[in-house]
Every structure is written in structure tokens, then in C-alpha cells.
Amino acid sequence: MITIKGLTVIIDGKIIIEDINLDIEDGEIVAIVGPNGGGKTTLVKTLLGFIKPSSGVVYIDGKSPKEFIGEGKVGYLPQKSSYERDFPVSALDVVMFGLINEKIQKSQKLKRSIEYIKYVGMEGFENHPFGKLSGGQQQRIMIARALISQPKLLILDEPSTGIDMVAQENFYEFLKKINQEKGITVIMVSHDIGVVANYVHKVVGLNRKLHFFGKPKDFFQTNVLSQLYDSDVNLVIHSPECITCQHFTPDKLLEGFKH
């Protein structure tokens, strides 16, 4: 699905990401984790064609990001905690934005939008002002907007920003569900490794360079955390199996997963 070879991005003379090589398979959920300023958002923006590589190449289904996006096959959820409260659109309008380039009748657009609002569990909120919805509700509507064009790739930049822990876990469960039902490849940037580890197939550990690419289990097994964050790190694992959600240090993580 996505092939990245020797990708380096330099912005204003500063190396933001350096010599990244990745192969992401169709239908995978991949989390990009790493410290602030580690290049996570830059990598996402390069995948979206907003930033040109200084060197190296990025292919999505054998095409350049711009070509692939031009075909309307990407759903994107940007990093945003909330939208303008008084932006004058309804939740239904926002979902319908996702069909802006579809050459179908308005009545069909309306029908499909209502279906997707239902799919994300927001039935009854169609005619609510979008800006007045909670962070988690806005996110679901934005997901419906991203999914309605039936993309092959869903890119989410910090989807948990501005929503509480319960809403986050519901959201990741929901992502897992759409990945399984629709076979969409999902790439998401996240700060919270402890939470996303339970829901993703692979983890990309990025701090300018690629420090890790593999299964979440292996991520915690290696010494990658301290390399990635340049210091000793304690993690909080929010495993569905973990009743009390205890604190774990990297060497106790595997044990934590068994609970």
C-alpha cells in the first residue's frame, strides 16, 4: 500500500525526518509515535502531498501522494482539538462535504450522509450545529466525513486530542471496527503509545530517524522507548484486560500485556 524509501525532509535548513524506509501493507492499522518535534506530523503531511520530500520517494499504491489524493482515495482527520463554535454548518453539512466531488444527485448525497452519520453512532445529531458538539462527537462526524467517499487510506493526526480517556478508547475500538469491516488502511499519529498499542497492527517509532517499525509487542520488548524519547520512560497501559490500569516500566511491559 505505502512504500517510503530513503525519505528525508529538510525545512528551513533543519532536518525534520531523515532517511526513513517503510512498507505498510493494505488493511493495516499503523500508529506513528514519538516525542514532540520528532517529525510525526511532517511524515503525515508528506504522505498527504503537502510537503515535498527533500530526498527519497513516497508511493501509495504505486502512485505519488498527489496523484493518489487526486483520485479521492484518502480520508484525512487533521490535528485539531475543536472547530469554531459558531461556524454556521450542521453535522449533516460537514459529512456531505466529504462527497463534494462525487457526481451524484443531492438526494443521494443526503441519503448516504445520513447512513454514515448512523454508522458512526451520531443518529439524531444531523441537524445540530457542528461547532456545538463535544470534541468526541465532532470527531465522529469528521470520521463519517472522511469515510463517506469510501477511501482506501485513512490518515489521522492525533485523533485523541481534546477528548477524554473513555471517549478515546471508544474511538479506537471504532477505528478497529471500520478497519475490519471496510478493510481500510489506517495511519494515525499518537502521543499515547499505551492506549494505541492495543488497537494497532504496527508501530512506527519516529524521532527524526526511524527507531522502530514492527508489532506493538516487539516495540515494548526492545529498548526503543528510551532511544525514542532520549530518556527513561514510564508507561501507562490501558489494556482492556487490565482492570486496574497499573503503571509499567518498559521491562515489565510484557508481563503487563499478559494480564
- Least distance from another protein to the Cβ atom of residue 36, Å: 20
CB-based burial of residue 223 (10 Å sphere; 0-12 exposed, 13-18 middle, 19+ buried)?
exposed
- The set of cell numbers assigned to 47 is 504522505
Smaller CB separation from another protein, 75 or 250: 75
Smaller CB separation from another protein, 131 or 214: 131
- Least distance from another protein to the Cβ atom of residue 16, Å: 16
Smaller CB separation from another protein, 100 or 233: 100
- Least distance from another protein to the Cβ atom of residue 230, Å: 29
Smaller CB separation from another protein, 88 or 240: 88
Question: Beta strand 74-77 with 153-157: parallel, antiparallel or unpaired?
Answer: parallel
Alpha-carbon dihedral sign for residues 187, 189, 190, 194: positive
What is the phi/psi pair of residue 162, to 5°? 80, 5
- Least distance from another protein to the Cβ atom of residue 180, Å: 24
- Least distance from another protein to the Cβ atom of residue 194, Å: 28
Smaller CB separation from another protein, 78 or 136: 78
Smaller CB separation from another protein, 129 or 135: 129
- Least distance from another protein to the Cβ atom of residue 201, Å: 23
Smaller CB separation from another protein, 132 or 259: 132
Among candidates 116, 190, 168, 104, which has minimal Cα distance to 146?
Answer: 116
Q: Which residues bind another protein (CB under 8 A)?
A: 48, 50, 69-70, 72, 74-78, 80, 83-84, 86-90, 93-94, 96-98, 100-101, 129, 142, 145, 149
- Least distance from another protein to the Cβ atom of residue 163, Å: 18
Q: What distance in Å separates the CA atoms of residue 81 and residue 67, rounded to the nearest whole number?
A: 29
